[in-house]
Each structure stands twice: as structure tokens, then as C-alpha cells.
């Protein structure tokens, strides 16, 4: 498999760490490798892998936004930056020229996670997909295997590996893990073609999901960002149909819904380049957290529509949640809402049963 | 005066101005007019500032005054002659300006551009020592606005120096292609707008144009908005109608519905911004508890009788 990067730059201080050696072994002679001395300027650009040390914390709670239902998600970040170039991705705004950064001091991450595991009282959902795609580089990083081994003895931790790729071989080869969920962000095929360059097409994502289910994994899907443009209803209804034609509802751990949102500064910085891309110039208005979101009734109606389409195929039991939305929106769109912080977490992490939201 | 500086009376014909090298002073049109009147009435009150070069002098500060004196037929002017160069010279020019006039954003930007070109100092090197003396925060991003104003065409520099262009313009237009930024400045420059209003109108127009895949100047012409005859408030309404058709439709319907339902005196029904949250507000004003009870009773009866039912469409 051809790597999605053109060179590897290794900080001298991490050159002898185990992760670095194994990563370079897997890459082999496919791309040139450079060693970076102390004080040298770090590399730039998303076609370069930079192996370095994470000087700060690996594990952070999802920051969510003020006023929204907090998801309680914990993010472990052994990597930063994504080889894909999705038009709406916040990384495009915050880190347009950062390299594909891989932190080689994974022993520090393990120690942090062990400390957290001792502190966390209840079920916890843990993911790596906030600042990087969980599986896009997995054939070379083998992060998935490392993570599943880390959480294997902690059944109350539910590890979610979220991706837009179909690179699941490394996850499947060790067989199913009850506390690992493979998740895919989904959008209509036409949207994937125009706005998610480099990612796997929908049919390949769903084929990978079907294969994961066949092996014994539970899977999840994220309709995020939902973009309300043109014939979006028919397009998203088609995605729902395709999902449940590929996987049985009882193997779907959860589905999240989130509409397109971005900071105002995104448009000021990228607006001229997005000229003619009507998706970015819909009726998005500033919310309480300063982010631009679709006008409230448009979002509510979109969530109601998608929830209706999903429940038509799954019945009421499937766990459906909204990303970065207020309790009022949960109530208006789904007819229910977790009242307390952490409810979402407990509700998603407990074994599948009965009615859901 | 510092060190070896001296005052000489110099023939104006021996003074050479290099405005793109040293001049960063950009007074507003009003100030320029006042300067010329003062020169005509009282002559030069503050010596020009120059450095010997060849058989003449290069003007470091006062090129505009030298030109005005020439225009008035003067032959000589008092000149402060200095040999100082490099960062030390620019530090003195900064202090001299600060001693005589407040800085405007154009001047701050021009000072930084000219100083860097003359001394080769990187902008980062100026953040700690120089930025605070220019009224800027000691971080590199603080210079973005002034540098943007300094790069504008002269007519827009004039507008900025004269306070007719809000500082917010740099934030909203700073990342745009120059042609689009200038189109917005030409369009909104006819009004004296506050920062928030300027930013809102500019964003609305830009986002409408970009949605259509157009350049904003072309879009304004296509829509007949480039020569808007109404006031800025009406222009805002017109732009919002194009940018947010559903939202504006809701606002109109809400205004009609809330005007038609029976609302007791002292009671107001309001929607939050953008109807966010699917909630409405009922505001009751009262001067006594008895008055509060009376007004709440009337609200309660109206709701019970279904008179407020039309509001349901605006709720979650």
C-alpha cells in the first residue's frame, strides 16, 4: 500500500524510541526519511510525517461548546493532523500547514491513560478522532492495535476509532473486541466527491463497516457535518438506506447527528477561496458560542428528518445523539434530552438494550 | 535635540524629499489644511529634519511642510540636521512624532514598513520595544491592521486617517484580495459607519457575492446595490433579505403574529436572536404586585383561550 505522505522527518530525540523504529520499519524505503537535529525548524505541510515528542498531555476531555449538552467524550491524541483535506474540517482553519504529526513517546500516553483509568468512576467513551483520522495512517502507525491492547482489560472504557477511510485490516486481524467500536463519518456520495478528497467513497466505508460487523465488531456512524443544500433530504435518506442495507441495526452502537458549523473567522480567512461553494454560505448565523450554525428551525427540521429516517429502519432502540447542541434542541428534535452532564456518556457506553433517544 | 544635531537655515532647493523612504506621517485632510494655513500665517514653527547627503540634504521629517513652503514661494527653512542613522534614527523619529501628534493607524503601519525597509529589522524584533510606543500590544499580530491600512490606496488611507474608516475594516477585509477589499471600501466609504455596522454590511455583501461565485464589486453592480440611495439601515435590511431569506421571513411573520395576538398593556412577547433555542420571551413590566397579578392573569386567560396559539410555530 502506498503511504499518503511523501517524506518522514524524525526528531533526533525520538529516533530511538520503539514507536519510531517500528513505524520506519513499516514505511521501509517507500519515502525518504530525514533526521532533524535539536533546534532545527520543524517541517511544514500535510504530505510530511513528523515524528516528535508530545510535550504536553495526550488525554483531554472533549471541550464541547458553552451551553451545549456535553458529550463526556475523552480524546487521546497520539497524532495531530489528517492526510485528508475535507473542505469543512476545523484543522484546515486552525492548522492548515501542520505536518502529519505522530507522537513517538507513547509510553507517556500509556502512563496518562492508566492514571485516568484509576480515576474514572463510570463508563467512559474514548476516541482518537478529534485531531486526526483514527485509521487513515493505521497501516503504518498501528495505533489501533496499541489502543485496543491498552483498553482490553478495562471493559468500562469504550474505545471509538473514527475514520473516513476503509483501512480496517489492522483492527480486524486481531479479532473482535467487545469494547472497541469502529465508527465512520458519513455524507452523501456527491458530497464526499466534492468536499472530502482522499477519503474512501461511501460504498467502501460501508463495505468496511459490514466486514467489521461480520468479524464481530460493533460499529457507529456520524452524520457530521450534515450540509443542508439542494436535495439534501433525498441524499441523506439514501445514506441511511445504504447504512442499514450494509449493517444490521443491532450492531450499530450509536449514530450522531451534527450540522455544519464553523467559527466566523473561517469565512473571513477562507471565504474568497470558497467562492461558489454554496454549502458554506447557507443560512448560518452566530450562536451563543460564536460559531456559525444553520438558523435554528432549519437545524431542528434536519435533525427531525434524519432521526425519522433512521428510526424508520431501526425502530426506537438505536442510540441517537446530537453533537454540540443545546438541551432545547435535543428536546425539539429528538423529543428527549439528557438532563445531567455525563448522561450522554453513561447512556452511550452501557450495553445495547431497549429504547433509546 | 540630541548629540550632534544642529539647527541650520537651509535653502529649500538643497532639500530632497524621499517620501517612500522616510515619510510615515499621514495626517487627515483636515489636519493637512490646518498645517498649510498655519505655515502661511506663522511660518515654520517646528524645524524640518534632514540628513546631509551629497551636496544637499535628505528630508527625514517635514517633506509635506517643505512642499507647502515651496508652494508659498519660500526660499529657505529652518532644518534640524542630524547624522544619526539606523534604528537610533527611527527611534527618534518615533519620539518626535509622538511629541507632536497622536498616531493614526495609517501612520503606525507606514512607520513599521519604512523602518523595516531602512534598517532590515524583522517585525518580530520590534514587538517588545517599539510596538508599545506605537500604542500596539507587544505581539506580531497587533501590527496586522496598521500594515493593512498603510497598504491601501491613498484615498482610503485618507479615510482611515480621518476616522471615516473604522478599525474593524482591517479585521473583516484584511484577508481579502485587494480588489474586493477596495470595492467594499469604495461602496461603504460614503457613510461614516461604526465598526460593527461596517463589519456587518461588508460580511453580508461578501457572503452573498461568494455564494453566487462572484466578485463582490461585480455582485453589487449586478444587484444595483453599488449606488444605494437609501440609508445604511435600509441597506442592511436589503442585504439580510438576500443572505438569510428564511430567517428574515420568520422575523417578518413573527412581527405580524405578535402584533395581531392580544397582548395586555405592559406585556411584550419577544424572540431571541435568530429564534435560537425555540423559545420566546414574555416580558411583563409592573409597578406593583397587584399590577403584576393583573397582567399575568390577562396573559394566562389569553393563552387558555387559545389567542396566543399562533405563536406555536415559533416554538421548539
Structural domains present in chain B: 1-84 (3.90.1530.10), 86-165 (no CATH), 167-243 (no CATH), 263-314 (no CATH)
Of A133 and A343, more confident:
A133
Residues on chain A bordering chain B, Cβ-to-Cβ distance under 8 angstroms: 267-269, 271-272, 274-276, 278, 280-281, 283, 285-288, 295-298, 300, 326, 328-329, 331-332
State chain B's mean pLDDT as an integer.
Answer: 93
ipTM: 0.85
Predicted confidence (pLDDT) per residue in A145-157, tens digit: 999 999 998 888 9
A113 domain-assigned: yes
Domain of residue A275, CATH code:
3.80.30.30
Per-residue pLDDT, averaged over A4-11, amounts to 96
- The alpha carbon of residue B211 is apart from the nearest alpha carbon of chain A, in Å, by 5
Query: pLDDT tens, B176-214?
Result: 999 999 999 999 999 999 999 999 999 999 999 999 999
Check A329 against B277: CB less than 8 A apart.
yes
Other residues' Cβ atoms within 10 Å of the Cβ of residue A2 = 6
Chain A residues inside the 8 Å CB shell of B251: none
pLDDT for residue B40 is more than 50: yes
Residue of A281, A303, A332, A333 to mutate, interface with B, max B Cβ within 10 Å: A281
- Tens of pLDDT along A167-215? 999 999 999 999 999 999 999 999 999 999 999 999 999 999 999 999 9
Residue A311 near residue A249 (C-beta atoms within 8 A): no
Angle at B128 between CA B127 and CA B131, to 5 degrees: 55
Res A342 pLDDT > 90: no
Beta carbons of B207 and A332 less than 8 Å apart: no
Q: What is the pLDDT of residue A353?
A: 39
Tell me the mean pLDDT in the region B106-132: 96
Within 8 A of A69 by CB-CB distance, chain B residues are none
Per-residue model confidence as pLDDT tens digits over A41-65 = 999 999 999 999 999 999 998 877 7
Return the beta strands (E) in A54-208 as ranges. Answer: 59-61, 74-76, 79-80, 100-103, 124-127, 157-163, 180-186
Give yes or no for B242 touching A (CB within 8 A).
Answer: no
For residue range B48-78, list pLDDT tens digits in order.
999 999 999 999 998 888 888 888 888 999 9
Task: Tally the C-alpha atoms within 13 A of residue B59's C-alpha that lie toward its C-beta.
Answer: 26
Taking an 8 Å cut-off on Cβ atoms, the answer to whether B175 and A269 are in contact is: yes
Query: Does residue A354 surpass a pLDDT of 60?
Result: no
- A283, B245: Cβ pair inside 8 Å? yes
In a domain, A251, yes or no: yes
Determine contact: B251 vs chain A, CB below 8 A: no
The values of phi and psi at residue A201, to 5°, are: -60, 160
Give the position of cell 387558555. B304
pLDDT of residue A62: 84
Closest by CA to B78, choosing from B10, B17, B13, is B10
State residue B170's pLDDT score: 93
What is this structure's pTM?
0.85
Residue A64 has a pLDDT of 79
B190 touches chain A (CB under 8 A): no
Is A339's pLDDT higher than 60?
Answer: no
Quick check: is A27 in a domain?
Answer: no
Q: Would you call A332 and B278 a contact, using CB atoms and an 8 Å cutoff?
A: yes
The predicted structure's pLDDT at residue B35: 83
Query: Does residue B143 have a pLDDT over 60?
Result: yes
- Predicted pLDDT of residue A147: 95
Q: Is residue B3 very low, low, confident or very high in pLDDT (cuts 50, 70, 90)?
A: low
Q: DSSP class of residue A46?
A: T
Give the minimum alpha-carbon distance from A326 to chain B in angstroms, rounded to a whole number: 8
Q: Domain for residue A246, yes or no?
A: yes
Among the partner residues A268, A278, A297, nearest to B175 by beta-carbon distance: A268
Distance from CA of B136 to the nearest CA of A (A): 22
Selected residue with higher pLDDT from A268 and B298: B298
Q: What is the mean pLDDT of residues B82-97?
A: 93
Kindly tell me if the per-residue pLDDT of A356 is higher than 50.
Answer: no
Alpha-carbon distance of A128 to A75, in angstroms, equals 6
What integer pLDDT is reported at residue A338 of this predicted model?
Answer: 67
Task: Report the pLDDT value the prediction gives residue B32, as an integer from 0 to 100.
Answer: 84
Residue A57 lies in a domain: yes
SS (H, E, C) chain B: CCCCCEEEEEEHHHEEECHHHHCCCCCCHHHHHHHHHHHHHHCCCCCEEEEEECCEEEEEECHHHHHHHHHCCCCEEEEEECCCCHHHHHHHHHHHHHHHCCCCHHHHHHHHHHHHHHHCCCHHHHCCCCHHHHCCCCCHHHHHHHHHHHCCCHHHHHHHHCCCCCCHHHHHHCCCCHHHHHHHHHHHCCCCCCHHHHHHHHHHHHHHHHHCCCCHHHHHHHCCCCCCCCCHHHHHHHHHHHHCHHHHHHHHHHHHHHHHCCCCCCEEEECCHHHCCCCCEEEECCCCHHHHHHHHHHHHHHHHCCCCHHHHHHCC
Selected residue of A297, A325, A332, A335 to mutate for chain B interface (largest B Cβ count, 10 A): A297
| Closest approach of A300 to chain B, Cα-based (Å) | 8
Q: Are A77 and A128 in contact (CB under 8 A)?
A: yes
Q: Report how many domains make up chain A.
A: 1
Q: Do B274 and A271 touch (CB under 8 A)?
A: no
Residues on chain B touching A298 (C-beta within 8 angstroms): 246
User: Is residue A36 assigned to a domain?
Assistant: no
Question: Chain A residue with minimal CA distance to B242?
Answer: A283
Is A144 within a domain?
Answer: yes
Question: Would residue B277 be called left, alpha or beta, if left means φ above 0 and alpha means ψ between -120 and 50 degrees?
Answer: left
**Which residues of chain B make contact with A272, given a CB cutoff of 8 A?**
175-177, 180, 210
Mean pLDDT, chain A, rounded, equals 91
Q: Name the β-bridge partners of A103.
A: A52
For residue A259, the cross-strand partners are A226
Find the domain containing A281 and state its range: 51-349
Which residue from A minimizes the CA distance to B208?
Answer: A281
Give domain status of residue A33, yes or no.
no
B210 touches chain A (CB under 8 A): yes
Contact state of A283 with B244 under an 8 Å Cβ cutoff: yes
Rounded Cα distance between B112 and B90, Å, is 10
Residues A101-123 as b/e (b if ≥16 CB within 10 A, e otherwise) read bbbbbbebbeebbeebbeeeeeb
| B276–A272 CB contact, under 8 Å | no
Judge: B210–A276 Cβ closer than 8 Å, yes or no.
Answer: yes
| C-alpha separations of A42 from A52, A99, A166, B26 in Å | 10, 9, 30, 41
* Chain B residues in contact with A300 (beta carbon < 8 A): 278, 316
List the single residue in B with minimal CA-CA distance to A327: B277
Chain B residues inside the 8 Å CB shell of A331: 316
**B6-15 confidence digits (pLDDT tens):** 999 999 999 9
Identify the CA nearest to A102 among candidates A133, A61, A68, A60: A133
Q: Are A79 and A128 in contact (CB under 8 A)?
A: yes
Q: Min CA distance, A201 vs chain B (Å)?
A: 26
- Sign of the alpha-carbon torsion through B176, B177, B180, B185: positive
* Nearest residue of B to residue A270, measured between CA atoms: B175
- Among the partner-chain residues A278, A296, A331, the one whose CB lies closest to the CB of B275 is A296
Which of the residue ranges A64-68, A239-243, B129-133 would you say has the lowest mean pLDDT?
A64-68
- Contact at CB, A283 and B206, closer than 8 angstroms: no
CB contact under 8 A, A274 and B278: no
Amino acid at each position: 500500500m502506498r503511504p499518503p505522505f511523501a517524506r518522514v522527518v524524525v526528531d533526533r530525540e525520538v529516533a530511538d524510541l520503539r514507536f519510531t523504529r517500528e513505524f520506519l520499519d513499516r514505511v521501509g524505503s517507500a519515502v525518504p526519511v530525514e533526521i532533524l537535529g535539536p533546534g532545527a525548524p520543524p517541517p511544514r505541510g500535510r504530505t510530511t510525517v513528523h515524528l516528535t515528542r508530545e510535550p504536553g498531555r495526550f488525554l483531554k476531555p472533549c471541550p464541547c461548546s458553552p451551553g451545549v449538552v456535553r458529550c463526556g467524550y475523552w480524546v487521546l491524541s497520539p497524532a495531530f493532523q489528517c492526510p485528508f483535506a475535507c473542505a469543512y474540517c476545523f484543522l484546515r482553519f486552525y492548522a492548515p500547514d501542520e505536518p502529519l504529526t505522530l507522537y513517538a513517546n507513547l509510553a507517556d500516553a500509556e502512563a496518562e491513560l492508566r492514571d485516568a483509568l484509576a480515576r474514572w468512576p463510570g463508563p467512559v467513551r474514548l476516541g482518537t478522532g478529534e485531531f486526526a483520522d483514527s485509521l487513515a495512517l493505521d497501516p503504518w502507525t498501528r495505533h489501533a492495535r496499541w489502543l485496543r491492547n491498552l483498553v482490553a482489560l478495562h471493559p468500562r472504557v469504550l474505545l471509538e476509532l473514527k475514520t473516513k477511510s476503509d483501512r480496517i485490516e489492522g483492527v480486524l486481524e486481531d479479532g473482535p473486541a467487545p469494547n472497541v467500536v469502529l465508527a465512520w463519518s458519513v455524507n452523501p456520495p456527491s458530497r464526499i466527491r466534492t468536499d472530502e478528497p482522499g477519503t474512501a467513497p461511501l460504498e467502501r466505508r460501508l463495505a468496511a463497516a459490514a466486514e467489521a460487523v461480520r468479524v464481530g465488531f460493533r460499529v457507529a456512524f456520524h452524520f457530521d457535518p450534515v450540509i443542508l443544500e439542494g436535495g439534501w433530504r433525498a441524499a441523506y435518506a439514501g445514506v441511511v438506506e445504504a447504512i442499514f442495507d450494509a449493517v444490521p441495526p443491532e450492531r450499530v452502537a450509536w449514530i450522531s447527528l451534527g450540522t455544519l458549523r464553523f467559527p466566523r473567522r473561517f469565512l473571513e480567512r477562507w471565504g474568497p477561496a470558497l467562492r461558489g461553494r454554496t454549502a458554506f454560505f447557507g443560512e448560518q448565523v452566530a450562536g451563543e458560542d460564536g460559531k456559525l450554525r444553520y438558523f435554528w428551525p432549519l437545524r431542528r427540521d434536519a435533525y427531525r428528518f434524519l432521526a425519522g429516517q433512521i428510526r424508520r429502519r431501526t425502530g426506537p432502540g438505536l442510540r441517537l445523539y446530537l453533537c454540540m447542541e443545546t438541551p432545547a434542541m435535543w428536546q425539539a428534535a429528538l423529543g428527549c434530552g439528557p438532563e445531567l452532564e455525563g448522561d450522554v456518556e453513561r447512556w452511550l457506553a452501557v450495553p445495547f438494550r431497549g429504547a433509546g433517544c | 535635540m540630541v548629540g550632534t544635531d544642529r539647527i541650520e537655515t537651509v535653502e529649500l532647493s538643497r532639500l530632497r524629499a524621499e517620501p517612500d523612504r522616510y515619510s510615515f506621517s499621514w495626517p487627515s485632510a483636515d489636519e493637512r489644511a490646518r498645517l498649510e494655513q498655519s505655515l502661511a500665517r506663522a511660518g515654520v514653527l517646528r524645524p524640518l529634519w534632514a540628513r546631509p547627503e551629497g551636496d544637499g540634504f535628505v528630508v527625514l521629517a517635514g517633506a509635506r511642510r517643505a512642499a507647502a513652503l515651496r508652494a508659498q514661494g519660500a526660499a529657505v527653512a529652518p532644518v534640524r540636521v542630524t547624522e544619526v542613522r539606523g534604528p537610533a534614527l527611527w527611534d527618534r523619529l518615533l519620539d518626535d512624532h509622538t511629541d507632536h501628534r497622536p498616531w493614526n493607524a495609517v501612520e503606525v503601519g507606514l512607520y513599521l514598513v519604512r523602518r523595516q525597509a531602512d534598517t532590515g529589522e524583522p517585525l518580530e524584533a520590534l514587538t517588545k520595544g517599539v510596538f508599545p510606543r506605537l500604542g500596539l500590544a507587544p505581539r506580531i499580530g497587533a501590527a496586522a491592521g496598521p500594515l493593512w491600512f498603510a497598504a491601501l490606496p491613498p484615498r482610503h488611507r485618507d479615510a482611515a486617517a480621518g476616522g471615516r474608516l473604522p478599525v474593524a475594516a482591517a479585521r473583516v477585509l484584511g484577508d481579502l484580495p485587494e480588489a474586493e477589499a477596495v470595492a467594499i471600501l469604495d461602496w461603504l466609504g460614503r457613510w461614516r459607519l461604526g465598526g460593527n455596522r461596517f463589519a456587518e454590511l461588508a460580511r453580508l455583501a461578501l457572503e452573498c457575492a461568494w455564494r453566487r461565485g462572484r466578485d463582490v464589486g461585480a455582485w453589487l453592480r449586478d444587484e444595483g446595490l453599488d449606488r444605494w440611495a437609501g440609508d445604511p439601515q435600509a441597506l442592511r435590511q436589503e442585504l439580510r433579505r438576500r443572505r438569510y431569506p428564511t430567517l428574515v421571513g420568520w422575523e417578518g411573520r413573527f412581527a405580524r403574529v405578535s402584533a395581531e395576538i392580544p397582548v395586555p398593556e405592559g406585556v411584550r412577547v419577544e424572540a431571541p436572536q435568530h429564534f435560537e433555542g425555540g423559545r420566546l420571551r414574555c416580558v411583563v413590566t409592573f409597578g406593583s404586585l397587584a399590577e403584576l397579578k393583573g397582567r399575568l392573569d390577562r396573559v394566562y386567560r389569553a393563552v387558555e383561550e387559545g389567542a396566543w396559539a399562533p405563536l406555536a410555530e415559533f416554538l421548539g
